[in-house]
Amino acid sequence: MRSVLRVLVLFALVTPFWSLFDQKASTWVLQADAMTKPSWFQPSQMQALNPALVMLLIPFNNLVLYPAVRRLGYELTPLRRMTAGIAFAGLAWIVVGAMQLVLDHGDVFTITWQVLPYVLLTFGEVLVATTGLEFAYSQAPLSMKGAIMAFWNLSVTIGNLWVLVANAGVQNSAVTKFIASTGFGVTAFQMFFFAVFAFAAALAFGVVARTYPFVDHYRRHDE
């Protein structure tokens, strides 16, 4: 039970990542709709980049990036990878926020620019999702592995609830006035807000990760 509770603290800090990641199917599609593109291309089709990039980045990380970093004398532990992944998601939203500012000023540009934030976000996904699942499985004793997987899925749900809270917040007149005073549009402001949210979560995750006591239940069946 103690092992599970320690993992749940980390899961709670991963929820901001999911609040950013899953908006590629909503906020990013709406942004893509305002960009120039071929007549036959639909904004939602940009999401096909995500699985394609996953298939490219996983072998790239395992065969090139991780060994290269290891040769430099730095070990990318699972928790370090996850910390970096959350930060990369924040960086992706900095990029889409900057693009939204350009669109808000009436300067329309091609949808191919969205490839950059998709690469950053998918790189973050590979570092967080694939690493996080294996890490959580290894930290839970045999009797709790199913529960850990359920809590991982719950972290995705809570991440999406953060989006609902943020969207409800901008309906408040005081919040709307504050956003107007910044000179940003509501969408651009929310994008930068979520980026800061991710950076704060990455910082907190990194701090907690430094004191996390690793255990190895990956292949143990005697608990």
> 52-100: per-residue pLDDT in tens?
999 999 999 999 999 999 999 998 888 999 999 999 999 999 999 999 9
> 156-201: per-residue pLDDT in tens?
999 989 988 888 887 788 888 888 888 899 999 999 999 999 999 9
Mean residue pLDDT across the chain: 89
**CA 9 centroid distance within chain:** 17
Q: What are the C-alpha distances in Å from 4 to residues 42, 118, 135, 218?
A: 43, 32, 12, 14
Judged by DSSP in three states, 41 sits in: coil
Q: What are the C-alpha distances in Å from 46 to residues 43, 106, 118, 127, 191?
A: 6, 22, 9, 21, 18
How far, in Å, CA of 200 to CA of 94, rounded? 14
Strand partners, 46: none
- Residue 7: per-residue pLDDT: 82
Provide φ and ψ at 79, rounded to 5°.
-70, -30
Judged by DSSP in three states, 26 sits in: coil
Residue 123 has which token pair?
A: 């790189």
Q: Tokens 């890490």 label which residue?
A: 135
Rounded percentage of the chain residues whose pLDDT exceeds 90:
61
- Residue 172: per-residue pLDDT: 80
Q: Which residue has the higher pLDDT, 5 or 114?
A: 114
Sign of the CA dihedral running 21, 26, 29, 34: negative
Rounded percentage of the chain residues whose pLDDT exceeds 70:
95
Confidence of residue 103 (pLDDT cuts 50, 70, 90): very high
pLDDT over threshold 60, residue 111: yes
Q: What are the C-alpha distances in Å from 138 to residues 15, 74, 134, 217?
A: 20, 22, 6, 5
Alpha helices by DSSP H, 40-144: 49-60, 66-71, 78-104, 115-125, 131-139
Sign of the CA dihedral running 18, 54, 3, 151: positive
How far, in Å, CA of 122 to CA of 50, rounded? 6
